Amino acid sequence: MNPFTDIPADSVSALGEEKLIAAIRRWLGAASPRAPFGIGDDCAVLAPSRGRQLITVDPVIYGEHFDDTVSPRAAGGKLFKRNLSDIAAMGGRPRAAVVALALDRRVKLTWLEQFYRGLAAISRRHHVPLVGGDIAHHRGGIVATLTLVGEAAAARVVTRTGACVGDSIWVSGALGNSLRSGHHWRFAPRLAEGQWLARRRHVHAMIDLSDGLAKDLRVLAPRGAEAALDSGAIPRRAGATLAAALGEGEDYELVFALADRADRKKFAQAWRKKFPRTRLSCIGRFVRAGARPSSAVNLADYRGFEHLR
Amino acid sequence: MNPFTDIPADSVSALGEEKLIAAIRRWLGAASPRAPFGIGDDCAVLAPSRGRQLITVDPVIYGEHFDDTVSPRAAGGKLFKRNLSDIAAMGGRPRAAVVALALDRRVKLTWLEQFYRGLAAISRRHHVPLVGGDIAHHRGGIVATLTLVGEAAAARVVTRTGACVGDSIWVSGALGNSLRSGHHWRFAPRLAEGQWLARRRHVHAMIDLSDGLAKDLRVLAPRGAEAALDSGAIPRRAGATLAAALGEGEDYELVFALADRADRKKFAQAWRKKFPRTRLSCIGRFVRAGARPSSAVNLADYRGFEHLR
């Protein structure tokens, strides 16, 4: 859906601020608790956190993360899920979200309603209330920014650092062809999987794939090491070439390093028992820089998504 | 400063993402802790909160909240302080911030550096680390969104509800003429004042003034009541008419309701002792709807700032 209209009566400017906020609360329904625990005061109030807190922020921008081919409901859902995926990558549990919307006054009310209903659906599915936000005018564009706070679900959070030479490299789901297949807004954030992985001490490091395996895996590599990947083991989405699986991005899958001493067979069995519907692939291992076998993929031949280029 | 350049070498697109993030961390300096407690992982990690948590989000948008007459350093500072003012209005203590930047690739690197240095200066002044963020492309605009998490500084948080008929109405600082005077980016968020007020049980309700007293005070009024203001008591910034003081907005001052049974003279003395440099004015009281004396300001004659109109 194209978000804009030239008919003032159909646009967000028609309602006026007070009625617009009332409409947003109606669209959000049970996803929006009452103030001070939700929308309606200077800040939202949350109960104290039990464990360490997590915080992450990601936007969706019209023309960058969604366009007229993506429904507003899907765009709202994508915004929420991108951030849930970041919490998943630390093995955390999401707690509450706030959304800041910068939008042109010509945005259609129907577009906005479906956008918020998309947010509300994800809020309900994952039991993460939308506790606050802001809406402001921005000539010519739509920038929606969601900040998610969460907390550690296990005794530890899994960070991007901690992988060792010899660790095996694993990935959930399948990669590539995210844009054309609609995976970029259809995906399910790997929250349960991330929490399960955080409870296993053999999981050394983890990241979620947003800019493509070739780029994101460099972040996970230990100092003085590189990834040696088996090209045949890299799980590809239908229609994805190897280059697409390595470089396109927006996969929102988890990649993690597992200790060399872990029993890989038992580990994979335990995963299959817990997550029978989520594919898991061992795609290679970290080796000393320069020690990559000639049969392994040379990641330097592939590029991930580069922002601001 | 105009933020845009047509010379690619001077723009944010020149550096590439990795170098740009390294530059941002350099510009932020001590304001940016190391990952996982700061920039560099999927989420930032914070220690558990002691009390109830607060969360607020507000943007600054090019063409709306700042323009070429405002330096990028001031725009960054304003972004941080707008959010600090919301924490102040609940009597809270800020803990950490994340910033999401949506910007055109033609934005000047010098603009961006000064913007982040403006954020860093406020971060240092108020001891609130910038723990994470995001930077994404957005054709033709600049939308910077800051989310602030904080916690209750006293046994309670002060909300917008709780004022009673008979309560006196107080305001910090002076109002009006915020845009022309530069107050809209020069202001100091009233954090210490807000925390002090939260510890006094006679303070029934509080809000920070962003859309103008005429509009924001309606939010504070108890059900079935209205504000009766003494026009002569409303503190005006130099050059501000009464209409400007009531309706222009961007004052970032605290307005609060004080119990009728409180000793107003003692209260004002205690304030002056604690905050000798922050003006405090008693500007009226809440009366039953319709019981406003004819000498009092009729707020219905004034409008605050309306978003999205």
pLDDT one-digit tens code per residue, B202-233: 999 999 999 999 999 999 999 999 999 999 99
Look at chain A and report how many structural domains it folds into: 2
Helices B109-126 and B17-28: crossing angle in degrees, nearest 10, is 40
Q: Report the pLDDT value the prediction gives residue A128, as an integer from 0 to 100.
A: 97
**How many other C-beta atoms are found inside a 10 Å radius of the C-beta of residue B237?**
18
Q: Is the pLDDT of residue A309 over 80?
A: no
* Domain's final residue, options A118, A152, A186: A152
C-alpha A126/C-alpha A194 separation (Å) is: 14
Q: Whose structure tokens read 């564009």?
A: A141
3-state helix, strand and coil shares in percent for chain B, rounded to the nearest 5: 35, 25, 40
Return the percentage of chain B with pLDDT > 90, whole number. 91
A179 is a domain residue: yes
Check which CATH number belongs to the domain holding B225 and give it.
3.90.650.10
Query: Are residue B183 and residue B222 in the same domain, yes or no?
Result: yes
Predicted confidence band of residue A80 (pLDDT cuts 50, 70, 90): very high
Predicted confidence band of residue A38 (pLDDT cuts 50, 70, 90): confident
Q: Which of A12, A138, A208 sits opposite B141 (nearest CB)?
A: A138
Predicted confidence band of residue A300 (pLDDT cuts 50, 70, 90): confident
- What number is the average pLDDT over the span B109-120? 98
In our burial notation (b when 16+ CB lie closer than 10 A, e otherwise), range B172-185 reads bbbbbbbeeeebbb
Q: Position B143: which residue type?
A: V
Q: Report the pLDDT value the prediction gives residue B115, as an integer from 0 to 100.
A: 98
C-alpha B109/C-alpha A293 separation (Å) is: 41
Query: Are residue A197 and residue A287 in the same domain, yes or no?
Result: yes
Predicted confidence band of residue B239 (pLDDT cuts 50, 70, 90): very high
B213 is a domain residue: yes
C-alpha B60/C-alpha B37 separation (Å) is: 25
CB contact under 8 A, A100 and B43: no
Distance to chain B for A35, nearest Cα, Å:
9
Q: Report the pLDDT value the prediction gives residue A18, as an integer from 0 to 100.
A: 85
Secondary structure (3-state) at B297: strand
- Residues forming beta bridges with residue A133, ordered by sequence position: A99
Summarised one tens digit per residue, pLDDT across range A145-181 is 999 999 999 889 999 999 999 999 999 999 999 999 9
Q: Is the pLDDT of residue A97 over 90?
A: yes
B299 is a domain residue: no
Q: Is the pLDDT of residue A4 over 90?
A: yes
Return the percentage of chain A with pLDDT > 70, whole number. 100
- Tokens standing for B286? 């809440």
- What number is the average pLDDT over the span A248-253? 95
Query: Are residue B115 and residue B53 in the same domain, yes or no?
Result: yes
Q: Report the pLDDT value the prediction gives residue B18, as an integer from 0 to 100.
A: 85
- Residues 76-105 of chain B whose Cβ lies under 8 A from any Cβ of chain A: 86-87, 89-90, 92, 96, 98-100, 102, 105
Residue B145 structural domain: 8-152
B32 is a domain residue: yes
Query: Are residue B88 and residue B148 in the same domain, yes or no?
Result: yes
Summarised one tens digit per residue, pLDDT across range A46-57 is 999 888 999 999
Query: Are residue B145 and residue B206 in the same domain, yes or no?
Result: no
A22 is a domain residue: yes
Query: Are residue B134 and residue B249 in the same domain, yes or no?
Result: no
Q: Are A136 and B307 in contact (CB under 8 A)?
A: yes
Rounded to the nearest integer, the mean pLDDT of chain B is: 95
Q: Report the pLDDT value the prediction gives residue A212, as an integer from 0 to 100.
A: 95
Q: If you count residue pairs, one on A and one on B, with CB atoms under 8 Å apart, how many are there?
A: 244
| Partner A contacted by B150 (CB < 8 A) | yes
Query: Are residue A138 and residue A43 in the same domain, yes or no?
Result: yes
A309 is a domain residue: no
B114 is a domain residue: yes
Q: Report the pLDDT value the prediction gives residue B81, as an integer from 0 to 100.
A: 98
Query: Are residue B36 and residue B111 in the same domain, yes or no?
Result: yes
Q: Report the pLDDT value the prediction gives residue B62, as an integer from 0 to 100.
A: 97
C-alpha B247/C-alpha B257 separation (Å) is: 19
Predicted confidence band of residue A290 (pLDDT cuts 50, 70, 90): very high
- What number is the average pLDDT over the span B125-147? 96
B209 is a domain residue: yes
Chain A residue numbers touching B45 (CB-CB < 8 A):
52-54, 90, 152, 157, 159
Q: Which of B17, B53, B306 sits opposite A16 (nearest CB)?
A: B306
CB contact under 8 A, B136 and A160: no
Check which CATH number belongs to the domain holding B121 and give it.
3.30.1330.10
Q: Tell me which of B43, B93, B210 to substitute to probe the interface with A (most A C-beta atoms closer than 10 Å).
A: B43
Q: Are B252 and B186 in contact (CB under 8 A)?
A: no
- Tokens standing for A296? 């392994």
Query: Are residue B187 and residue B264 in the same domain, yes or no?
Result: yes
Predicted confidence band of residue A306 (pLDDT cuts 50, 70, 90): confident
Rounded to the nearest integer, the mean pLDDT of chain A is: 95
- Tokens standing for B42? 């999927």
Q: What is the ipTM of this complex?
A: 0.94
Query: Are residue A13 and residue A56 in the same domain, yes or no?
Result: yes
Query: Are residue B191 and residue B148 in the same domain, yes or no?
Result: no
Q: Is the pLDDT of residue B35 over 90?
A: no
Query: Are residue B26 and residue B80 in the same domain, yes or no?
Result: yes
- What number is the average pLDDT over the span B56-81? 97
